[in-house]
Amino acid sequence: MAGLGAWNLARAALIILLLPRSLEQCGHISLSAPIVRLGDPITASCTISQNCSRLDSESHIVWKLEAELQPGERQQYLPNGTLLSTITLPHLNRSRALLSCCLHWGNSLQILDQAELQAGYPPATPHNLSCLMNLTTNSLTCQWEPGPNTHLSTNFTLKSFKSRGNCQSREDSIPDCVPEDGQSHCSIPRKHLQLYQNMGIWVQAKNALGTSVSPKLCLVPMDVVKLEPPTLWARGPSPEVAPPQPGCLRLRWETWKPSLHIDQKCELRHQPLLGEASWDLVGALPSRTLQYELCGLLPSTAYALQMRCTRWRLPGHWSNWSPSLELTTTQRAPTVRMDTWWRQRQLDPRTVDVQLFWQPVPLEEDSGQIQGYLVLRPSDQAGADPMLCNTTELNCTFQLPSEAREVILEAYNTAGTSHPTPVVFLESGGPPLGRLHTVARDPHSLWVGWEPPSPQPRGYVIEWGLGPPSPSGSPKTWRMEHNGSIAGTLLQENIRPFQLYEITVTPLYQDTKGPSQHIYAYSQEMAPSHGPELHLRHIGKTWAQLEWVPEAPELGRSPLTHYTIFWTNAQDRSFSTVLNASSHSFVLRGLEPSSLYHVHLMAASQVWATNSTSLTLMTLALEESELHILLGLFGLLVLLICLCGAAQLCCRPSRKNPLWPSVPDPAHSSLGSWVPTITTEDTFQLPSLRDSSMPPITKITVLEEEEKKPGPWESNDSSGTCGLPSLVQAYVLQGDPRVPRIQPQPQSGTSDQVLYVQVLGSPTGPRPGHYLRCDSTQPLLGGLTPSPKSYENLWFQTSPLGTPEPLVPNPEDDCIFEPLLDFPLLQGLRVSGVEGLGGF
């Protein structure tokens, strides 16, 4: 922001230099305040003297804030002829800005004068004032926090005075201490200080908008002294002093020379160099001793140590931490338990070769570092070298007399040896394990289980290593289980997938051991290397017999669990079947003659599946005689089906009637035997002429189509003809409601008559029936009237007096009522129930 203001001032100066001579000293800007609080209003006025050559009655002053035009509030001519313009900025939100007073000069806007505006905040109160007496520079250094930025140039001054009380009264003033620009600390030289006299100290902050001071600090310079840290050294060995115990460090230090006359107390902290452990602090150490032995550390471990000091029994500040000193603790004798195992081999009757194995088991968290192992003879074996092995490995091979039954094993380092571990070579005499078995949990582990023998062992030794065909001397891994009640353990060390391992488990008893049990297992089995080869043994027209030879089991290969045979025909239709692993052949059935098939066999295990070789075969074709036989059989089958269908049609009337209608023989049948059965609601009844009841009427309508010629039985007498009522005619014309209605084809030329015959009577009456015959030129069954209702189909109409009246035939109707004795189709029928026709 300050750089921007400088650039604006330089630009204004350049503009003034370029102005015409007639505009020089023409205008002047006056400000109400050159610096205001940020956001407060500010007022400015611009005056143009009457000597300005460009000033006239139409001159107008223009204001600009930076590059933005600002409207002027008032513009007026004063009595002395000068032009005055005033502007008020309500909110100055910029910490620095350039205000310009301008006048139009020709076609351009010329700047007459400029003023820089500044805005900011009053200084905040400085806080967190603290002072330290530095004996190195021999000065009192104080520091503080200035507070937020004011956007204005702020000056800080460290003020102080001497006092003999609690800084309530002033005795001597101390020159002010002014820090460098941007600094918030200042040092008062030793010459202005009284080291053991109170001083009042405060900080004053001042800028154009105000002044602020911090709270006063009353102190004695020596009470705030800060010492320099001491220098640490390691104590060397001394003949008069015993070496340090394991886990201990001895160190010394030198205090800072200018503080030798000051009583001090110091703190020590330590941290392991390896790992991410935090610092551990040790309490106050007297500085007069200048040496210390630090114990309780991990043996044989490198540590970093630091120290700081302050005044003892008097106020003061802690010094900084000293540079780190790196020391390593001494070792301690190993505190371990040895798990041992051995193998023996008889070299000759007097010498046995022993291969001893061991595993150290730490008894404590800090069991000490092991540098090597010793295998010693027992002290009771005199005359022989006690040292059998001195090695850093976990096994040793040595020779012993056949009668030797014990050796001593020890671990050692520079601090000493561990407790001796006796190794007793036990004889095999205990009970064996039962049912040793293994399961591969994953490619890198094996579970080995067993049935614990009785009595219960005190532990087990489990050995495992690569099985054959690995070399016999290949290293093996072993482990001792001290819990005799377990029935299995998980082996995870040195297990690789697809490898055959030999596992040995030996039970250990109190004074003997049991026989070792062996088992072989794969950590993960592989898929079969290849499937069996498929062969065609026999083939027919619709079948083919396949066979294969199973592959011999392979070590490390998962055994086969099943076979799958796939075959595909020429239309790419696939078939398959699954066989168990004991199958060696299979017959494909349901094949088509003279067809090509592709067959392959897949052998599968629990791990993987492998395809065998593919096989292509073609079934045999059918012979000519076989074709003839098949065609003959097919023809016989078709004939048999036709005969069965014909017999069914002939034997069942419901199947026969649709082909040819059943026409009854009137001479050898009765009316009830061939008239279709009429349901109750379809039976049409006419009232009797003699009885008011409604006896059943059996009706037959015979339809004829012929030219109207008088027959021998017809009469032209008017007495022989009568007319039927319209209700009866409608009934007669309707006919049997179950007879299909056939629209007759109209014939050209003459109009043929259709004869309708109605037979009336009871099928059980003794008297012959009567018939009604009507002549009509109406088409057969054409335009029939609808069936009458049950209450309309009556022979009699009720008179007004309530007595039934017979329906008297009308002579005008072309109908005849007479006995049907000479009707050819009805001569053989027995018609009864014509009692009601006597009146006709």
In this prediction, residue 265 has a pLDDT band, given cuts at 50, 70 and 90, of confident
Q: Does 173 score more than 90 pLDDT? A: no
In this prediction, residue 459 has a pLDDT band, given cuts at 50, 70 and 90, of very high
Structure tokens at 458: 């005190």
- How much is the average pLDDT of 395-400? 92
In this prediction, residue 185 has a pLDDT band, given cuts at 50, 70 and 90, of very high
Structure tokens at 435: 């049912």
- The pLDDT of residue 168: 84
- How much is the average pLDDT of 364-393? 82
- The pLDDT of residue 824: 52
pLDDT in tens, 747-779: 444 344 444 444 444 444 444 444 444 444 444
pLDDT in tens, 628-655: 777 888 888 888 899 888 888 777 655 5
- How much is the average pLDDT of 784-789? 51
Q: Does 812 score more than 60 pLDDT? A: no
In this prediction, residue 80 has a pLDDT band, given cuts at 50, 70 and 90, of confident
- How much is the average pLDDT of 500-511? 91
Structure tokens at 238: 């001394």
Q: Does 822 score more than 60 pLDDT? A: no
- The pLDDT of residue 473: 66
In this prediction, residue 659 has a pLDDT band, given cuts at 50, 70 and 90, of low
- The pLDDT of residue 574: 92
Strands 139-145 and 185-189, sheet pairing: antiparallel
In this prediction, residue 667 has a pLDDT band, given cuts at 50, 70 and 90, of low
- The pLDDT of residue 800: 43
In this prediction, residue 7 has a pLDDT band, given cuts at 50, 70 and 90, of very low
- The pLDDT of residue 56: 62
State the Rg of the chain over Cα.
68
- d(C-alpha 728, C-alpha 771), whole Å: 13
* Percent of the residues in the chain that have a pLDDT greater than 70, as a whole number: 71
- The 3-class SS string of 316-348 reads CECCCCCCCEEEECCCCCCCEEEEEEEEEEEEE
Q: Does 581 score more than 70 pLDDT? A: yes
Q: Does 619 score more than 70 pLDDT? A: yes
- The pLDDT of residue 54: 59
Q: Quickly list H helices, 436-576.
A: none
pLDDT in tens, 216-261: 999 999 899 988 899 999 987 777 777 788 888 999 898 887 777 8
In this prediction, residue 287 has a pLDDT band, given cuts at 50, 70 and 90, of low
DSSP state of 53: T
Q: Does 486 score more than 90 pLDDT? A: yes
For the stretch 269-273, contacts whose Cβ atoms lie closer than 8 Å and that sit 24 or more positions apart, written own/partner, are 269/305, 269/306, 269/307, 269/321, 270/294, 270/297, 270/303, 270/304, 270/305, 270/306, 271/303, 271/304, 272/298, 272/301, 272/302, 272/303, 272/304, 273/302, 273/303, 273/304, 273/326
In this prediction, residue 125 has a pLDDT band, given cuts at 50, 70 and 90, of very high
Residue 12: phi and psi, rounded to 5, are -65, -40
- Which range is least confidently modeled, 76-80, 193-197, 305-309, 505-509? 76-80
| Greater pLDDT, 820 or 535 | 535
- The pLDDT of residue 58: 66
- d(C-alpha 12, C-alpha 30), whole Å: 16
- Which range is least confidently modeled, 509-518, 711-720, 789-798? 711-720
In this prediction, residue 703 has a pLDDT band, given cuts at 50, 70 and 90, of very low
The model carries a pTM of: 0.47
- Whose tokens are 């790992």? That residue is 275
| Greater pLDDT, 264 or 804 | 264
| Greater pLDDT, 660 or 614 | 614
- The pLDDT of residue 184: 92
- The pLDDT of residue 321: 94
Cβ neighbours of residue 98 closer than 8 Å, sequence gap 6 or more: 5, 8, 9, 12, 65, 66, 114, 115, 116, 117
- The pLDDT of residue 649: 76
- Which range is least confidently modeled, 22-36, 192-206, 303-317, 440-454? 22-36
- Whose tokens are 């003034």? That residue is 16
- How much is the average pLDDT of 601-606? 84
Q: Does 326 score more than 90 pLDDT? A: yes
For the chain, what is the mean pLDDT?
A: 76
- How much is the average pLDDT of 104-126? 87
Tell me the domains of the chain and their CATH numbers.
22-120 (2.60.40.10), 127-226 (2.60.40.10), 231-237+244-328 (2.60.40.10), 336-424 (2.60.40.10), 435-522 (2.60.40.10), 534-618 (2.60.40.10)
3-class SS at 3? helix
- How much is the average pLDDT of 466-479? 80
In this prediction, residue 12 has a pLDDT band, given cuts at 50, 70 and 90, of very low
C-alpha distances out from residue 258 to 134, 229, 261, 485, 809, Å: 11, 11, 8, 73, 169
- d(C-alpha 145, C-alpha 160), whole Å: 17
Q: How many Cβ atoms are within 10 Å of 651's Cβ, its own excluded?
A: 9
Q: Does 720 score more than 50 pLDDT? A: no
Cβ neighbours of residue 2 closer than 8 Å, sequence gap 6 or more: 96
* Percent of the residues in the chain that have a pLDDT greater than 90, as a whole number: 27
- 142, 186 in Cβ contact below 8 A? yes
Strands 127-134 and 225-226, sheet pairing: parallel
Q: Does 74 score more than 60 pLDDT? A: yes
Strands 127-134 and 108-120, sheet pairing: unpaired
C-alpha distances out from residue 351 to 283, 382, 407, 445, 631, Å: 64, 17, 15, 39, 97
Q: Does 383 score more than 90 pLDDT? A: no
